[in-house]
Chain A
Amino acid sequence: MKKELLAGISVAATVLLGLAAAWHLQERLDVQRKAIHEERDEMLVQSPKLIKALSLEYAPLLGAVYWTRAVQYYGEKHHERDMKLQLLWPLLDAATTLDPKLLVAYRFGSTFLSDAPPRGAGRPDLAVKLLERGLKEYPDEWHLYQDLGNVYYFDAKDYPKAAAAFAEGSKNPHAMIWMKVMAAKIAADGETPETSYALWMEVLNSTKDPDIKKNAELHLRLLKTDLDIREIDRLANEYEKKTGHRATRMSELVQAGLLRGQPLDSAGYPYVLGEGGKAELNLNSPLLEEKLLNKK
């Protein structure tokens, strides 16, 4: 009786210890493998057409799988500040080939394929390709025209095409009025901070996707900073005109009545006047780092 008990205990102990050891080793291995970039190959089969053929009747399910992987891939790489995002296009290409009805994939792809690193893959051409595929499936989805316009405006810097996209989308009876307005403004003035700001606001309004939302908010913060700095500089120039010398402290502008109070950035930190009396972000503001990282 005692012998059996002993045997049982030693078996259980061996198993438990072994599993714990394996767990620990696995953690170590994960770190080591990452260090040498030995990561899971996201796309075993490269050709979307082949994947579709192999998937027999179950293509839409596989499409959903690829879409999910695309989102996870973005999340991983973005989190690591890895600038490459090389696999984003193949994954989205596969997902939309398998299931052309994945509207969310088209919208997601348009932002993150086109936006410059570190936020996206920096490939507006691929974003256009994806959106055109999406428009074939969903010709009535005016949001896709909005996305197309954004791609041309922000990243391809092709203002005539951007205006054309917004114009086309505005033809849809469900489209919002601003589409038409935007078409005209871009055709006339090209890129302006106000236009950019307005477009990113519309992106923020039109999506439920948390990644897209975060990205739009980032752009809005950066733009707001630019706009604020421009405005403060304008006021500083006015001060110079009035007093004959350049202000060195923000309080001078306030006392001169040009500003109502200390101007704060979107993070709540006061702007400062730096070298040459130009407005700058506060050294303590987190937006400074953000701005440096996202230097275009």
Chain B
Amino acid sequence: MGMSTPAIEIDGLSKEYPFGFLNLKKKRSLENLTMQVETGEVFGFLGPNGAGKSTTIKLLMRLIFPTSGTARILGKSIDDVRMHERIGYLPEQPYFYDYLTATEVLEYFARFHQMTAADRHERVAKILKKVGLETAKKIQLRKYSKGMLQRVGLAQAILHDPEVVVLDEPMSGLDPLGRREVRDIILELKRAGKTVLFSTHILTDAEMLCDRVGVIVGGKLRGVGTPGEMVGIQTQGMEILFELHGEAKNTQLFSRAMKTGERYRVQVPESELYGALDELKAAGARILSVAQIKPTLEEFFMNLVEADRAQANAIDVSGK
């Protein structure tokens, strides 16, 4: 038996939007995306707002149509409507029918799936409990808070026990308790062997939950790998925390340092560490700690965004 088919395969997916006067200009919201999500893994889609995460997910769900490229879910083309029986989707900032109750909405969505009436009732009841909406199940959705709506959204995404679950910003609008609950659900799905793809810009969640992450900035995929791999791409160096009484010397080292009271923080590249330490000792500073700067996804991210913006500006300036 060969390698198992990836749960989600994306091949050269691109999306262009016309905009401006008479729709003559084109905006590229996704450029040539190629990646896979393996069966049973939790994959995080990271990127700032407008980077193309939602666009990718909407393309996968056939809410919008690609300008070029293809994709497959569970080995089937995304055009295959029947395949949707086995996948679940939570849209960004979900909103449902004002005048229906949670039970009614879930029952309504469940009707599109293959299950008997009894099965349906049972599943709806179970899922309401799981997402913590049991007490509110008879209240009309127009009275729900954003967080409650998010839970309804999650419920309808997993109600039919899909193999692949796609969540667009599942944590948004939730308080810390709610976010923890969602994280638990995602972990539970993973334990059950489901594949989960979710997009987020909350990087700590991604670090905690994902087997792998993919980073999208400016419509392009910048990297795919485990969270550790991603940040390991760049080392930031070492950070020295020291104390100095009296006046600081006017050297480059000191000018780079951040001062709070009598404490200083300075970052130096790894290679310069010992030279810096010598300099400080000679200046009479007391070294408090030396630590490796562990870059966070956030910083990696920010740098990418910065670099991207700089490139865009450069292009503008060059007039093309």
Instruction: Check A-B contact in the complex, CB < 8 A.
Output: no
